[in-house]
Amino acid sequence: MTYQLLFVCLGNICRSPAAENIMNYLVERNNLQDHIKCDSAGTSSYHIGSSPDSRIRATAALRGLELLGSARQFDVSDLEKFDLILAMDRQNYRDILSLDVEGNYGHKVRLMCDFATQHREKEVPDPYYGGQAGFERVIDLLLDACEGLLREIRQTQLIK
């Protein structure tokens, strides 16, 4: 059985594609491609079809990470399709839950920073309107949170 993860931010061009690609990197490094699949989406339709933002790609590249993908909007069907949906901030979290009108999928939605062990932030800040330091902070947070997420999935899903 494949465990399916969906990373969600506002526009799906900075935080969520970075999380998706970082997690894919960790999954591949641990030879777990047959067990864990990743995707990302945005709660808005602002950037549908766009590649990850050039600034987040450049920041990730400095760490040896390549960010691939094409922005898409979160769809209500994602609530059923994915095993775990990871919101980058509280507003994304609320936006996702607002689509769960019958309250059947709230147990699948978590904040990304819940899995961070080295950082105290509760949300992954949106770096879009900031400077380089914001993009570096996002990559640091996501590396930490993705490592924690992988540890938890391996424990709870009994994936070796």
Six token digits for residue 1: 């059985």
**Axis-axis angle for helices 132-156, 15-29 (nearest 10):** 50
Whether 114 sits among the annotated catalytic residues: the reply is no
Integer Cα distance of 56 and 69 in angstroms? 13
What values do phi and psi take at 77, rounded to 5? -65, -20
- For 5-49, give the DSSP string: EEEEESSSSSHHHHHHHHHHHHHHHTT-TTTEEEEEEESSSTTTT
Given 14, 126, 144, 146, which residue is catalytic? 126
Q: Which amino acid is at 8?
A: V
Give me the half-sphere count of Cα atoms (radius 13 Å) on the Cβ side of residue 77: 1
Given 14, 15, 38, 53, which residue is catalytic? 15
Whether 126 sits among the annotated catalytic residues: the reply is yes
Whether 151 sits among the annotated catalytic residues: the reply is no
User: Which residues are catalytic, by number?
Assistant: 9, 15, 126
